[in-house]
Structures are given as C-alpha cells and as structure tokens.
Amino acid sequence: MKKIAQLLSLALVLMLAFSLTACGKKSLTIWVGTESQEFYQQMVDDYVENYNATHDENFPSEIVVKGVDSGAAAAQFLDDTEAGPDIFTIPHDNLGKLTAGSSSIAAITNQALIAQMEADNPQTFLDVSKSTVDGTTYYFAVPYVSQSLVLYYNSSVLTAEDVQTWEGISAKAIAYSSTVGHEVKAATILGTDGYNNSFLLLSEYYNSSNELTTSVQLYENGVASACYATGDDTIAAMKWGRRYFQLTSGGIDQAGSSGWEEELKDEYSLCLIGGAWNYNAALAALGSNLGIAVLPEFTITNADAYGTIAAGTVYQSGTFTDCKCFVMKKGSDYQAYLEDILIYLSSVSVQEQSFETCANLPAYKNAADEFAAMSADTLAAKLASCEIEMFNYGIAQPFGYVQKYNTWFYSKGAPDLIYAMLKNTDNAYPDDASILSCLQTCETIWKTGAQN
C-alpha cells in the first residue's frame, strides 16, 4: 500500500507540473534575419527594461529574438502557426500568402502605429503593406528595412568610370583575361530566378526627352491581366542581354559550381549583382578591393535594335526595390503588447541603429537626407547610397496583393524561359520572333499560372 501511495503521489506531482506547463504562456518570440538577431535582442531587452521602469507591473514575459531566413519565414510560420512566433519578418511580397482566406496574421489597428507608418514611409512601401481580407483593406505589415540590388566589383581591376556601363566592364574583363591566362566574366548573377536575374526585364531606356521609361507592366494595380513584357524596348533589352549572356570572356552569367565568392576572389569574375545580404561575403572575397556601385547602363547596338528602339539607345539596369516588414501572429497570447513593440522596433531611431550595427538600410523615406551615417566615408554608407539610388530605377515587387501572383511570377517556369532565351539554349532562340514568342509565353504564365 505504501508503494502504491508513493506512486500515486508521484503521478499527482507530474500531472500538476504538466498542467502548469500546459496552462502557462510561452515566451514572446520574434523572428528577424539571422544577421540581425543579436542587435534586435538587445533592442527588446532595452524595451523590457524601460517598460518595467515606467509601469506599475513588469512586462508579462521575456522576449526571445530568433535569427531565421527571412525569405522562408512566412512558409515556416504557415507550416505550424500555433507554434509560430508572435512577431516575424517577411519580405513584403510574401504578405499575400499570409493574408489569404481569413488571414493567419493580425491587422494593424493601433492608431499611433498607423500614424507613425504613414508619416515615416514612402507611399510605395505603404501600398505593399496592405492587404484586403473579407472585403476590407488593412495594414498588415510594418516596413523597417529596405533593399535593392547593386553591383559589387573588383576595384583593383575596374575603376569607378568602368562600372558605369556594362560595355566598360566587359571590355576590361576581356583585356584582363589575357593578363591572368583564363576567361574572365564581366559579372555573375546569384541565380536564374526572376529576382536575381531581373536587371534586364526591369531596365528602362532614355526616351527622346531624356527621361527613363519602360513599357513593362507587372500586375499593375494588383490586376492579374495587367502584365506586359513584349514592347519593342523589352525585346531590344533582351537582344542585348542574349549577346552578353553568350560571351565567354566579358559576359554575364550565373555563378559556376565553385560559387560566386570564389569566382570574385580568384578573378574569374569581376562583378556580382547582389543585395545587402551579400555584403559580408563580398567583403570577405575582395577585402580592400571591394567596390560598390549602382547597376550599370548599357547601349543598344545595331545587333540589338528592334522596332522603335534604335541603335544608340541607352538603358539603365533595373531592380526590385523592396522592404522587409514586421507582421504579427493572429491570436497571439501577447496581442495587447505587440503593436507597442512594433512602434519601437520600426522607429526611425532603431532603424538608424540597425544600419550602424548590421548595415540594414532604413526604410523611412528621408533617410538619405536626414541620417548622417549614410553619407560617411565607409563601405556600408556607399552600399546604402547605391541601394537608395537604385530606388530610382526599380519597382517594389507587386506580388503581395494576391497570394498566387508570387507563385505565378517565380515558380511556374517564366524565369527558366527567360534564362534559356538569354543563353539561347539548344539554339532555340536564334531570332527576334523566338524572343518575342518567349516573352509572350512569360506574359501568359504571369497572367494565368500556366503556359497556355
């Protein structure tokens, strides 16, 4: 009997412990990019300390910041929303998948947070922070980091003047190949996906009024049918790209099996089209020889001219200009506290500290003029100024409005078709008609999610 009583007593203790654990709340959790985890942990530690000093009761939980791949955070969250974080970071174009149906994230309702967002952010970031659920449009995302593609280059070979044009880079690469005894590419792209290989599709040309323009449309005003990439200007740009993607020395192509870092380091490539997330690796590869510039211009030749686009027309390479945003878990145990935390984490002050500590480019609209650190004589400041200048030559990814747009643009075969056309794989794209046909197929995919 005594043994049975002991076993029953132990079982009671275990049941009580389990009950207390099950009923207790887990810590308030925030996901940010891996490169920023330590910084934002310090920021929320400061927030909790200040909260405790200014309130009658202490903050109800510790706040744990976890570093994750921001690009995969939305999918990871959707795999298990119950176990997911209370606040997490996404690229703005992931918003549609999180608000599909009844939405798995919470709308922003705090008027102080909305007022701060509208005062601080450019309209393009505000537009992509909204989504419509059950017929009503809300803000769901809080921008706090911005980004665009730039050019990292080997400044021991290329001058600042060289990198103003693709032709200048290519000529230097061809000449340098005889010096080093192997073929040297002008530049590598990080991947053949529709993001890292977007500089031609999103390029703009100088018209007769010397203004940059393009006929390309991608989900204009959030409408699926409003996709267009078969204008004379786009075909001419792709013809130019087809020549450069087929060059050996002096060409542009995807990084090889050794990786872009090794290609830069060993001088098999002189440049990389990349983002701020590649900065540390580019610096490790090139050290004091790392240069940073906006993406170059290129000029249409007789071989590239098409329709109304004549030889001599100058283009500016383009980019997607994006913001990273905080979003909130719907039904969080800490919902009453989350928006106040976001007011703090997305504030101008914390954005500036994030730049100084992690090289995260601020999202607020006047950063280039108001933030002195961005004009300092440092590589981080040069990166920031180039990213901001590229904002003049790009568009925000227009895929967050509706969940399927992101999938249709990136994952239904259009990027592979464009890359195959640029490489003229199996000589399947030998002439203007085949380039036009390729772009028409891409338009159909973007509009419908299928090739026909």
- Identify the band that residue 43 occupies on the pLDDT scale cut at 50, 70 and 90: very high
CB 162 within 8 A of CB 156: no
The pLDDT of residue 406: 86
Decide: residue 64, CB within 10 A, 0-12 exposed, 13-18 middle, 19+ buried: middle
pLDDT band at 25 (very low <50, low <70, confident <90, very high): low
DSSP 71-88: HHHHHHHHH-TTTS-SEE
Residue 383 and residue 278 in contact, taking contact as beta carbons nearer than 8 Å: no
- Show the tokens assigned to 361: 């480019």
pLDDT at 222 over 80: yes
Percent pLDDT > 90 in the chain is 72
pLDDT at 358: 86
Q: Kind of pairing, strands 28-33 and 87-91?
A: parallel
DSSP-derived secondary structure letter, 221: G
The CA distance from 235 to 49, in Å, is 58
Check residue 12 and give its pLDDT: 37
- Token pair for residue 271? 């440049």
DSSP string of 89-124, one letter each residue:
EEEGGGHHHHHSTT-SBPPP--HHHHHHHHHHS-HH
Amino acid in position 343:
I
Q: Give pLDDT tens digits for 86-129.
A: 999 998 888 988 998 788 999 999 999 999 999 999 888 898 89
Q: Sketch out the chain's domains with CATH numbers.
A: 26-146+322-377 (3.40.190.10), 150-317+411-448 (3.40.190.10)
Question: How many Å apart are CA 386 and CA 378, to the nearest integer?
Answer: 12
Reported as a single tens digit per residue, the pLDDT across 278-327 is 998 999 999 999 999 999 999 999 999 999 999 999 999 999 988 999 99
CA dist 86 and 82 (Å) reads 10
51: part of which helix (H) or strand (E)?
helix 37-54
Nearest Cα residue to 28 out of 351, 341, 346, 344: 341
Mean pLDDT calculated for residue range 165-171: 98
366-395 tens-digit pLDDT: 787 778 777 788 898 899 889 988 988 999
